[in-house]
Amino acid sequence: MQKLFLIAALTIALPVIARAQEAPRTEIFTGYSYMRLEDNGIGGQDRDLNGYNVSGTVTVFKKYLGLKVDVSGHFGDFLVNTVPRIDQGQTLFLAGPQITLRKNAMFQPFAHVLFGAVRQTLDLQTATGSFNTTDTGFAFAAGGGVDVKTPLGRKIAVRLFQADFVRSRINDTTHSNLRASAGIVVRIGKIE
């Protein structure tokens, strides 16, 4: 009788366990992003920039390894409510591998290493006119985060946080920055 009960329990539990191990084929993330920008140039002080982060990840090997494309933009002012005023924008275009641990159905931590380009724009506004400059350079980001399952089903998750160390090189000047993002993840397809 006990063996029969054990077999019946396993028969019921195995599909539930197997379903928890499903992985999405594609994940699309969009959300808010904050960057603490190290500044070696104007004013010599760090800046707080706010913006967006959008990424797409396609699972390519088993359920754990994916290829990620990440775009983020961050914007802010050097001097607020003064003349001259300097507005700054920085956009990152990155891609690379991502590893996601999918053993827990509720929390799924991930880590990634991304390489690509950074584009920085400075806009100086004075009483007599404005001056714009745009520079492009190499960028590297390493970090990770945690996605949390929502009650809306397996297709929607919340990126509780994503934290990255971002290193960029523009005009022979290297910057070490920190980026934090949070938002919504939409999951499309599945790998069983």
CB 34 within 8 A of CB 164: no
| Residue 19, in any domain of the structure | no
Distance in angstroms (rounded) separating the CA atoms of residues 139 and 136: 9
| Residue 5, in any domain of the structure | no
- Bond into 97 cis (ω within 30): no
| Residue 9, in any domain of the structure | no
Going by the DSSP 8-state scheme, the letter that residue 62 receives in this structure is: T
The pLDDT score that the predictor gives to residue 79 is 60
CB 140 within 8 A of CB 166: yes
pLDDT grade, residue 139 (50/70/90)? very high
| Residue 142, in any domain of the structure | yes
pLDDT at 113 over 70: yes
Distance in angstroms (rounded) separating the CA atoms of residues 177 and 53: 15
Mean pLDDT, range 78-101, rounded to an integer: 81
DSSP string for residues in 16-65: HHHHHT-B-SEEEEEEEEEEEE--SSGGG--EEEEEEEEEEEEEEETTTE
| Residue 117, in any domain of the structure | yes
The pLDDT score that the predictor gives to residue 4 is 45
The pLDDT score that the predictor gives to residue 22 is 61
Q: Which CATH number fits the domain that encloses residue 85?
A: 2.40.160.20
Distance in angstroms (rounded) separating the CA atoms of residues 28 and 186: 5
Number of domains present in the structure of the chain: 1
Residue 89's domain comprises: 24-188
| Residue 12, in any domain of the structure | no
Burial class (CB in 10 A: 0-12, 13-18, 19+), 72: buried
Mean pLDDT, range 150-162, rounded to an integer: 88
Distance in angstroms (rounded) separating the CA atoms of residues 50 and 48: 7
Question: In whole numbers, what is the pLDDT of the chain averaged over residues?
Answer: 81
| Residue 134, in any domain of the structure | yes
Distance in angstroms (rounded) separating the CA atoms of residues 132 and 165: 28
pLDDT at 11 over 60: no
Bridge partner list, 156: 186
- Within a 13 Å sphere around the CA of 35, how many CA atoms are in the beta-carbon half? 26
Highest mean pLDDT among 82-86, 123-127, 149-153: 149-153
The pLDDT score that the predictor gives to residue 41 is 54
Note the residue count of the chain: 192
pLDDT at 45 over 80: no
Residue 158, classed as helix, strand or coil, is strand
pLDDT at 190 over 90: no
The pLDDT score that the predictor gives to residue 72 is 95
Highest mean pLDDT among 41-55, 70-84, 175-189: 175-189
Rounded to two decimals, what is the model's pTM? Answer: 0.76
Question: Which tops the pLDDT comparison, 140 or 125?
Answer: 140
pLDDT at 8 over 60: no
Mean pLDDT, range 63-82, rounded to an integer: 82
| Residue 16, in any domain of the structure | no
**Range from 43-47, 94-98, 168-172 carrying the lowest mean pLDDT:** 43-47
